[in-house]
Amino acid sequence: MSLENTSRRQFVAGAAALSLASTAMAKSGGASRMAPSRVIGANDKINVGVIGVGGRGSYVAERFSKYGSEVKPGACQVVAACDVYQKRVTEAKDRLKCTGTLDYREILANKDIDAVIVATPDHWHAKIALEAMDRGKDVYLEKPMCHTVDEVKALISTVKETGRVVQVGSQTTSGDQWWKARKAIADGMLGKMLMSQGSYHRNSTGGEWNWKIDPQAGPDGKGDDYIDWKTWLGSAPKRNFDADRFFRFRKYWDYSGGIATDLFFHVMAPMNIAWGEAQFPHRVSAGGGIYQFKDEREVPDTFHFIADYPKGFSVVLSSSMANSQHIPGTVRGHEGTLVMVEHGRLEGFAPNITVLPEFRMPSR
């Protein structure tokens, strides 16, 4: 399926029946009505709205706020926060000194907001980002960028069409070591690249993604205990309220890709930087299962895969949520081996990279 076959218009049109609000589309000919952006002067602050203020969203919003108040005063400010859980909205309003709402459409309709942070569960990422761009807003989008491949294609198409800025957030991809690795590979220090390997292992005693549940919270909750469950489900299959699904959404396929999209992105993003150009595999095999955490989860607690690339090299990734010993983040070539993170996990800054010359067995 090409990008042209999955355009923004087709994606949004297909999702319209599941939408809480129609997107900014003209009725004649299906042409989009792109909202103009606010003209920002040299002395103006960039106004940011955050959609999704759970653990990750709260952290990112606070970083943006701190940057605009301490690191580069006047650069930006968080002016609005949204979540479907009223308790989180109330806390965000108090913490960030901003307005709050249960309805993300209010943030997108606010002409004074220039950019949005999208830190919702994965199945909402694409829809909100697409609508934000149509409203003339730039987007900081938490990883994973989308929940499905079709959503990814629609998002890329829309970025090209609207000219909006979209940054997908992933820790440490600005780290200097990846760029050192990129130069070493480009300079031919490894010779022909053969394979890369990495891992993301951690041992969660309570079962990975089993975050705390607020027992009073739900669609029947009063005041701060209220959750807008219908909105939270969005395009996902309809079902009665399930606190485990709401608070621990990464355990379920309807809202998450599990280890593959939550954690392996931290491994693959630095590798793509180091390789020097965006590359996509032509063959992938995977395995794993639920070996340790026998609870309600649907996604594996142990997962691994091998990907083969057209240019003639492979990637091997390993992960378990029940064992903490990592595999060093490594790129292997015919002439040498590059170790990017000796302790294994590619999420995290390392002071240096190590290039080891390859030892060749003498011919007999």
Task: Find where tokens 């992105």 sit.
Answer: 265
CB 81 within 8 A of CB 62: no
Distance CA 206, CA 209 (A): 9
Of 184, 153, 140, 151, the C-alpha closest to 51 is: 140
CA distances from 363 to 207, 332, 359 (A): 51, 21, 12
| Residues ≥6 apart with Cβ < 8 Å to 166 | 129, 133, 138, 139, 141, 155, 159
Q: Give pLDDT tens digits for 182-218.
A: 999 999 999 999 999 999 999 988 899 999 999 999 9
pLDDT per residue over 32-44, tens digit each? 446 677 766 656 7
The residue whose two tokens read 């150009």 is 277
How is the chain split into domains, by residue range? 4-169, 176-206+258-357
CATH topology for 4-169 is Rossmann fold (3.40.50)
Rounded to whole angstroms, the Cα distance separating 150 from 162 reads: 18
Helix, strand, coil content of the chain in percent (nearest 5): 30, 25, 45
What is the value of pTM for the model shown? 0.85
Region 176-206+258-357: CATH code: 3.30.360.10
Contact 208, 321 (CB under 8 A): yes
Q: Percent of the chain scored above 70 by pLDDT?
A: 86
pLDDT exceeds 90 at position 30: no
Judge if the upstream peptide bond of residue 362 is cis by omega within 30 degrees of 0.
Answer: no
Label residue 132 by pLDDT band (50, 70, 90): very high
CB 138 within 8 A of CB 165: yes
**Mean pLDDT of the region 23-32:** 34
CA distance 48 to 195: 41
Whose tokens are 């392996």? That residue is 264
Mean pLDDT of 62-70: 95
- When pLDDT is cut at 50, 70 and 90, the band that residue 228 belongs to is very high
**Residue keyed to tokens 């806390």:** 91
Q: Give the confidence band of 266 by pLDDT, cuts at 50, 70, 90.
A: confident
Q: What is the DSSP string of 269-306?
A: HHHHHHHSS----SEEEEEEE--S--SS--S-SEEEEE
> Average pLDDT of 282-311?
96
